[in-house]
Amino acid sequence: MEMMLAVVIIVSLAIALLYIGQHFKLPSIVSFLLIGILVGPFGFALITNQSSIEMFGQIGIILLLFTIGLEFSFEKLLRSWRIVIIGGLAQVCTTIVAITLITTYFRSPFNEALVFGFIVSLSSTAIVMKILQERGEVDTLQGRTLLGILIFQDLAIIPMILITPLLVGSGGPDLEHLPFQIGKVTGLLIVIIIMAKWVIPAFLFRVVRLRSRELFFITIAGICVLIAWLTSEAGLSVTLGAFVAGLIIGESDYNIDALSHIIPFRDVFAAIFFLSIGMLLDTRMVLDNMYWVAFIVLVIIGVKILTGAFAAAVLGMPARVCIFTGLALCQIGEFSFVLAQSGLDAKLIPIALYQLFLAAAIITMALTPFAMNASPKAVDIMYRLSPHRISYNAKGNNTSDKGEQALSDHIIIAGYGVTGKSVARAAEITGIRYIAIDLNPDIIRQEKAARRTRMIFGDAVQEEVLEHAGIRRARTLVVVVSEEVAIPRIVHRARSLSPSVYIIARTRHIRQAKKLLDLGADEVVSEEFEAAREIFTRALRKYQFPETEITKIVSLLQSWGYGKFIKSAENGQHVSGMDTLLHSLRIHTIFVEPGSTAAGKTLRELDLKNRFGIRDYGFRRDGITIMQPDETVCLQEGDAFIIFASGEKNEEIRSLFSGG
């Protein structure tokens, strides 16, 4: 009964803390760590026997590494090999060296310092990718850069797990056993190749043919456990075996189905793992050493920001991506706890220092969302401090400075993705001169190879880049960058530099339109609105509306919608705000009832425009919809009158059409 009560309390705490964490946009990992602190032996002591919890936590880590193996693809690695290998290697190695030097400065043994270097070098893939997904920046340049570095970190955990046991009892690696360990790894690689190519695919094919989901799940779980046990018996880590098992199944045709089976169990057991880690934290020791905890947090964040930014800079990324990468990688990763636990079990890490590390790790994870949100301000500060050194890279441009200074009445395209390329090609066809700005060095290189020289490598947020593109002499600026947070800053900066340039900005969501118009955009194109318009058009076709009527209705809806996205020519202000568009105006249908005032009267006689301010209306009769009909049309009983107005206006005129 006491165990059931503890489970009830843990679940209740999980619901409450996860709800609060979602409200404040904190990672769920932090919530589980806090739950472990509260229910553990150093908190309210609801659970004092940690052996069973640690066993379930170990299963969670096995499943975590197993899913990484499932999702790992050699094809994906080859496509982004430069970011993964060069960027990841630069970030991990520089972090290990920096932390090792700092730790040895405080008179720690080399093997202990190296383990801490391993631990701090890893970042949280789950936290970073979740935040990027929420921001809609996974497929941006900075998102792809972070993903490549994180992939390398996930792979780097394997050699780190292999090296850590070799550090026990010496000031450095045990070179006598190193060839034996290398032989084990080589043997495992041979096993991976044989099983991935022939054994596992053939066996899984026979299992799948039986069409039993229970058998398939048990088979997948059995392969994971079997290989993990084999690697453990060979003297290697069970987590390494889980990764190998995931890699083998990931190369088969059944990796997606296997992943869908494992993920729910992975999330549950991983939550238990982080809960078990939180139970190890001695809060009294942390409170007694608060200054040391703060110092460790500052060291971790400072080192990882610098090494992350350095790794992006090695890849040739611009300043904005470098700063964002450093801030995004400033936390301790999930697998750092695995290494820290291994170091603690091997007595490489003192228990007191381990407690300080746990506290610092929790704090860095909690600070990650705030660090990533602060990146625009950090970029602005950097641009102000060093505008000319990081403004743009004109090296390789075939366009001379004089030619650029003479360029006028042209289009500036900020962002050279799919939309930016379409605008550029249209400008080439029509003979309009243009200059495109993009942050991706690979795109610049490809366009230069195709003899398209009107390219600038740089950040359109920065004043010097816009000046170099001739913002004061341009007629139009098209802002189509993929980073949503950069669009308002580009619009604001361009408007401050050139009051006369016509700015067209693209945004994903309608709710951003008013903000962009207030910052200086002349037109805003909303992907959300365009998608809604296209879906509405196809839906009308499904109901076999005449194409001419569909064109009229869609044109009217577009004029209603984009009236809110375009500034008025009279006073330079946009018309009624987006809250009116989203919350007040609706399409209402009112039927002309027998004996009503409207029955038998013309639209001119009803005089809806002057009496009620209704200007957009139509009616449907015998299955035919007519928008903006002639005022001489006489309404008949059974007609469906269609208006675009607020709910209050709808209630005002409804009495005209009601028979009562």
The CATH number for 249's domain is 1.20.1530.20
Q: Which of 363-377, 426-440, 570-584 has the lowest mean pLDDT?
A: 570-584
Number of Cβ atoms within 10 Å of the Cβ of 260: 10
Would residue 614 count as lying in a domain?
yes
Per-residue CA distances from 220 to 213, 257, 430 (Å): 11, 10, 58
DSSP state of 635: P
Both 344 and 410 in a single domain? Answer: no
Q: What is the DSSP letter of 512?
A: G
What is the band of 573 on the pLDDT scale with cuts at 50, 70, 90?
Answer: very low
Average per-residue pLDDT in the chain? 78
Helix H, strand E, coil C: the string for 249-262 is: HHCCCCHHHHHHHH
Compute the radius of gyration of the chain from its Cα atoms: 31
| Shared domain check, 199 and 92 | yes
Per-residue pLDDT, averaged over 568-597, amounts to 58
For residue 642, the cross-strand partners are 589, 618
C-alpha 646, offset from chain centre: 37
Please indicate, yes or no, if residue 541 is contained in any of the structural domains. Answer: no
Which phi and psi (to 5°) does residue 522 adopt?
A: -90, -35
Two tokens at 427?
């400008």
> With the C-alpha atoms ordered 389, 395, 399, 403, is the resulting torsion angle positive or negative?
positive
pTM above 0.85, yes or no: no
Instruction: Say how far apart CA 193 and CA 571 lie, in whole Å.
Output: 70
137 in the same domain as 15: yes
* Tokens linked to 19: 């709800």
> Among 282-296, 434-448, 644-658, which range has the highest average pLDDT?
282-296
Give yes or no for a contact between 61 and 338, defined as CB atoms under 8 angstroms apart.
yes
In terms of domains, do 229 and 301 share one? yes
Q: Residues 350, 352, 353, CA angle at the centre, nearest 5°? A: 70
Given 480, 507, 534, the domain boundary residue is 507
Task: Answer with the residue of higher pLDDT: 592 or 444.
Answer: 592
> Are 361 and 396 members of one domain?
no
**CA 158 to CA 152: how far, in whole Å?**
10
Rounded mean pLDDT, 427-450: 80
Which band of pLDDT confidence, cut at 50, 70 and 90, is reported for residue 118? very high
Q: Quick check: 167 pLDDT over 60?
A: yes
Q: Computed from CA positions of residues 180, 181, 182, 184, in that sequence, does the dihedral angle turn out positive or negative?
A: positive
pLDDT tens track for 548-568: 666 666 666 655 555 555 555
User: Last residue of a domain, which of 348, 380, 412?
Assistant: 380
At 396, list the tokens.
Answer: 């390789």
Q: 571 vs 504, 524, 567, CA distance in Å? A: 18, 17, 8
Mean pLDDT of 266-275: 76
38-42, 192-196, 276-280: least confidently modelled range: 192-196
The answer to the question of residue 566 being in a domain is: no
pLDDT bin (cut points 50, 70, 90) of residue 36 is confident
**pLDDT at 576 (0 to 100):** 41
The whole-number pLDDT of residue 589 equals: 80
pLDDT digits (tens, 9 = 90+) for 54-70: 676 677 777 777 876 77
Angle between helices 51-71 and 334-345 (to 10 degrees): 130
Spatial distance between the Cα atoms of 421 and 568, rounded to a whole number of angstroms: 29
- Answer yes or no: is 386 within a domain: no
Task: Specify whether the backbone of 9 is left (phi greater than 0), alpha (psi in -120 to 50) or beta.
Answer: alpha
Q: How many residues does the chain have?
A: 660
Q: What is the pLDDT of residue 38?
A: 86
CATH number, domain containing residue 419: 3.40.50.720
User: Is 557 among the domain residues?
Assistant: no
pLDDT of residue 185: 65
**pLDDT value at residue 234:** 65
Percent over 90 (pLDDT), the chain: 13
**Same-domain pairing of 414 and 334:** no
- Contact (Cβ atoms closer than 8 angstroms) between residue 74 and residue 67: no
Are 290 and 358 contained in the same domain? yes
Give yes or no: residues 347 and 398 share one domain. no
Contact between 578 and 511 (Cβ < 8 Å) = yes
pLDDT at res. 580: 40
Bridge partners of 455, per DSSP, are 436
Residue 398 and residue 371 in one domain: no
Residue 333 per-residue DSSP state: P
**413 in any annotated domain:** yes
Is residue 260 a part of any domain in this protein? Answer: yes
472 near 398, Cβ under 8 Å? no
> Could you read off the pLDDT of 382-437 as tens digits, one per residue?
777 765 544 444 444 444 344 444 578 899 999 888 888 888 888 887 788 899 99
The rounded distance, in Å, linking the Cα atoms of 404 and 76 is: 39
Does 565 map to a domain?
no
Q: What is the pLDDT at residue 392?
A: 44
pLDDT digits (tens, 9 = 90+) for 280-332: 777 887 788 889 999 999 999 999 999 999 999 998 888 888 999 999 999 99
CATH code assigned at 630: 3.30.70.1450
Q: Do 293 and 353 touch, CB atoms closer than 8 A? A: no
Do 328 and 459 belong together in one domain?
Answer: no
**Which own/partner contact pairs does 29-34 have at CB distance under 8 Å and 24+ positions apart?**
29/124, 29/126, 29/127, 29/274, 29/334, 29/365, 30/362, 30/365, 30/366, 32/271, 32/274, 32/275, 32/278, 33/274, 33/275, 33/277, 33/278, 33/281, 33/362, 33/365, 34/278, 34/362
**Total number of domains constituting the chain:** 3
DSSP sequence for 180-201: HHHHHHHHHHHHHHHIIIIIHH
Distance from C-alpha of 247 to C-alpha of 432, rounded to nearest angstrom:
52
For residue 374, is pLDDT > 80? yes
More confident residue, 487 or 404: 487
Domain that holds residue 628: 576-657
- Position 477 pLDDT exceeds 70: yes
pLDDT for position 660: 60
* Domain boundary residue, one of 481, 507, 533: 507
398 and 370 both lie in a single domain = no
Model pLDDT, residue 314: 92
User: In this structure, what token pair is assigned to residue 215?
Assistant: 């058998």
Helices (H), 470-628: 486-497, 513-519, 527-542, 547-562, 578-579, 603-606, 608-612
Buried b (16+ CB within 10 A) or exposed e, 451-466: ebebbbbbbbbbbebb
- Check whether residue 208 and residue 316 sit in a common domain: yes
**Any idea of the CA torsion for 583, 584, 587, 588, to the nearest 10 degrees?**
120
Give the integer Cα–Cα distance in Å for 459 and 493: 12
